[in-house]
């Protein structure tokens, strides 16, 4: 029996702003440890009994997905590109329709890519437990044994309280996020679980459930898959018909309506890292509840998270209690630990005022590497650009700016109009306004250069591309 993991990674994670932003959401960030949540999720579902993972993501993240999987030593299966986010039901249906082409009876394990499960082995055991029920035609969901009266999660009501080793149990209903009193009551009853949003079923079973409970999704999603176009190893779902699919979760569309649902309890540790208070709970803290990351110093603080994402920014907290402080080079969050669910409101306000920090990350990730702005004025901009080994920027020109490149690490292969040359450390080249140019890294280590732009307009949209190995428009 082989299970195909289906990893959903299209969310924006606004509650973990400023570290998680629309351009680089939390699943790709190293929130805990040396690997991203996405990498940890993929590793958890890799190895004996698992097929290569099927990924459903957005166009902006497709190269981040492949880069992080490669860094983790994982070769993916299909990568489906959503033209726009339509919630989890269309994403799950698209994955099922894709898998149906090769094996209608395949087992598919649908999981978010931004959750923390510390004990991978224990999770694999409960997946094996759920697999038997899924093979028998059940829609299996995995519920988390609660340890507190949590109001930030939906809950699952079992027919009876779990006893002994985990087993697939009959599920009575899904419960919306409760108020504090209802959450406490459910915790005390002992037959309620947190809804983890992780599902296991046969392709044929979930497709039958869609036909029975959400038939309106079948035509647009089916057409989007059938009319999808291959693009550098990705499958781009057809944008026109995809936009006709209802924006709805798998819970609302199917799971809450089906009568063949089983739930498997899991009690070995889990978090969706839904806010900074959840991150604080997962981090190592001292006897006073102080958790720090990066250059951070706490003086007479209690139950406080201090986190600096820049080696050049020291964060100091004095006399703080129940406080979260997150510092990036371009934004700082200071919040009461009980109000971290409200960070999304701050993001909305920043969007209204046009602050780029609302959505754009200081480090701009591209398929060839990344860049960050070091200085910006009306008529000049200074960037640090890092190009991966073997990677290449597009052949391009600019209408409004000229550029000066200085290599500070590695070797750059540079094309300017008809001239091609190699530049090593401390060598430079001038790119006149309108010149057709390209930068490549022919070496085996990352290449770093400093770019100085001058001109009347310095926006990223001032690019005319002539050739691009990544097929960007």
Are 98 and 143 contained in the same domain?
yes
Are 55 and 158 contained in the same domain?
yes
Residue 170: Cβ within 10 Å count: 12
Instruction: State residue 390's pLDDT score.
Output: 95
Q: Is the pLDDT of residue 431 over 90?
A: yes
Instruction: State residue 166's pLDDT score.
Output: 82
Are 152 and 261 contained in the same domain?
yes
Are 209 and 258 contained in the same domain?
yes
Residues 65, 71: contact at Cβ < 8 Å?
Answer: no
Residue 358 domain flag: no
Are 138 and 167 contained in the same domain?
yes
Angstrom distance (rounded) from CA 412 to CA 392: 10
Are 248 and 388 contained in the same domain?
no
As a whole number, the mean pLDDT across the chain is 94
Q: Could you read off the pLDDT of 393-408 as tens digits, one per residue?
A: 999 999 999 999 999 9
Q: Could you read off the pLDDT of 314-348 as tens digits, one per residue?
A: 999 999 999 999 999 999 999 999 999 899 999 99
Q: Could you read off the pLDDT of 86-143 as tens digits, one per residue?
A: 999 999 999 999 999 999 999 999 999 999 999 999 999 999 999 999 999 999 999 9
Question: Mapping DSSP to helix (H, G, I), strand (E, B) and coil, where does residue 332 land?
Answer: strand
Instruction: State residue 232's pLDDT score.
Output: 82
| Residue that is last in its domain, among 325, 352, 379 | 352
Instruction: State residue 10's pLDDT score.
Output: 82
Residue 271 domain flag: no
| Residue that is last in its domain, among 266, 290, 316 | 266
Domain boundaries, position 87: 3-266
Residue 191 domain flag: yes
Q: Is the pLDDT of residue 46 over 90?
A: yes
Largest CA distance in the chain: 76
Residue 472 domain flag: no
Are 17 and 161 contained in the same domain?
yes
Predicted confidence band of residue 311 (pLDDT cuts 50, 70, 90):
confident
Token pair in block for residue 197 = 């949003």
Would residue 225 be called left, alpha or beta, if left means φ above 0 and alpha means ψ between -120 and 50 degrees?
A: alpha
Angstrom distance (rounded) from CA 363 to CA 184: 42
How many structural domains are present in the chain?
Answer: 3
**Residue 53 CA, distance from chain mean position:** 15
Are 429 and 384 contained in the same domain?
yes
Residue 403 domain flag: yes
Q: Could you read off the pLDDT of 206-265 as tens digits, one per residue?
A: 999 999 999 999 999 999 999 999 988 899 999 999 999 999 999 999 999 999 999 999
Are 12 and 60 contained in the same domain?
yes
Q: Is the pLDDT of residue 472 over 80?
A: no
Q: Is the pLDDT of residue 13 over 80?
A: no
Q: Could you read off the pLDDT of 57-94 as tens digits, one per residue?
A: 998 899 999 999 999 999 988 999 999 999 999 999 99
For residue 94, CA distances in Å to 58, 78, 115, 130 come to 13, 11, 22, 22
Q: What is the CATH number of the domain that holds 450?
A: 2.60.120.10
Q: Is the pLDDT of residue 183 over 70?
A: yes
Predicted confidence band of residue 471 (pLDDT cuts 50, 70, 90):
confident
Rg of the chain (C-alpha set): 24
What percent of the chain lies above the pLDDT cut of 90?
88
- Which one, of 106, 110, 108, lies nearest residue 88 by Cα? 110
H-state helical runs in 137-275: 180-189, 203-213, 218-226, 239-242, 250
Q: What is the helix (H) or strand (E) element at residue 72, kind and residue range?
A: none
Instruction: State residue 158's pLDDT score.
Output: 94
Instruction: State residue 473's pLDDT score.
Output: 66
Instruction: State residue 16's pLDDT score.
Output: 95
Residue 17 domain flag: yes
Token pair in block for residue 286 = 């001292």
| Residue that is last in its domain, among 352, 380, 415 | 352
Token pair in block for residue 259 = 């009568």
Instruction: State the pairing for strand pair 419-423/261-266.
Output: unpaired
Q: Is the pLDDT of residue 363 over 70?
A: yes
Question: Mapping DSSP to helix (H, G, I), strand (E, B) and coil, where does residue 196 land?
Answer: strand
Angstrom distance (rounded) from CA 48 to CA 3: 10
Instruction: State residue 136's pLDDT score.
Output: 95
């Amino acid at each position: 029996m082989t299970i195909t993991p289906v990893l959903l990674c299209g969310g924006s994670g606004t509650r973990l702003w400023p570290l998680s932003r629309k351009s680089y959401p939390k699943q790709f960030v190293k929130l805990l440890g040396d690997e991203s949540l996405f990498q940890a999720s993929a590793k958890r579902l890799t190895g004996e009994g698992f097929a290569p993972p099927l990924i459903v993501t957005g166009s902006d993240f497709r190269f981040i997905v492949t880069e992080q999987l490669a860094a983790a030593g994982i070769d993916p299966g299909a990568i489906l590109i959503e033209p726009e986010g339509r919630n989890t039901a269309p994403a799950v249906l698209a994955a099922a329709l894709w898998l149906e082409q090769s094996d209608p009876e395949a087992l598919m394990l649908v999981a978010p890519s931004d959750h923390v499960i510390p004990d991978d082995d224990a999770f694999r055991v409960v997946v094996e437990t759920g697999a038997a029920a899924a093979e028998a035609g059940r829609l299996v969901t995995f519920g988390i044994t609660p340890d507190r009266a949590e109001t930030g999660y939906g809950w699952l009501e079992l027919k009876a309280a779990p006893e002994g080793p985990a087993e697939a149990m009959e599920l009575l209903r899904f419960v919306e996020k409760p108020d504090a009193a209802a959450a406490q009551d459910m915790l005390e009853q002992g037959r309620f679980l947190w809804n983890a949003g992780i599902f296991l079923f046969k392709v044929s079973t979930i497709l039958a459930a869609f036909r029975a409970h959400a038939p309106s999704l079948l035509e647009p999603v089916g057409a989007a898959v059938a009319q999808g176009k291959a693009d550098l190893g990705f499958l781009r779902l057809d944008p026109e018909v995809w936009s006709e699919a209802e924006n709805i979760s798998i819970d609302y569309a199917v799971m809450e309506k089906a009568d063949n649902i089983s739930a498997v309890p899991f009690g070995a540790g889990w978090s969706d890292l839904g806010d900074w208070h959840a991150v604080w709970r997962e981090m190592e803290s001292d006897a006073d509840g102080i958790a720090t990351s990066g250059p951070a110093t706490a003086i007479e603080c209690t139950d406080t998270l201090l986190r600096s994402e820049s080696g050049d920014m020291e964060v100091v907290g004095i006399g703080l209690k129940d406080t979260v402080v997150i510092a990036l080079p371009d934004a700082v969050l200071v919040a009461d630990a009980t109000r971290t669910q409200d960070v999304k409101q701050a993001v909305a306000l920043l969007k209204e005022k046009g602050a780029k920090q609302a959505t754009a990350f200081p480090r701009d990730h591209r398929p060839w590497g990344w860049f960050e702005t070091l200085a910006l004025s009306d008529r000049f901009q200074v960037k640090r650009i890092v190009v991966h080994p073997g990677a290449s920027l597009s052949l391009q020109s600019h209408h409004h700016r000229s550029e000066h490149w200085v290599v500070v690490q590695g070797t750059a292969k540079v094309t300017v109009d008809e001239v091609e040359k190699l530049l090593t450390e401390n060598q430079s080249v001038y790119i006149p306004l309108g010149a057709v140019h390209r930068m490549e890294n022919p070496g085996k280590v990352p290449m770093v250069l400093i770019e100085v732009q001058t001109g009347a307009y310095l926006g990223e949209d001032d690019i005319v591309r002539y050739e691009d190995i990544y097929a960007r428009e």
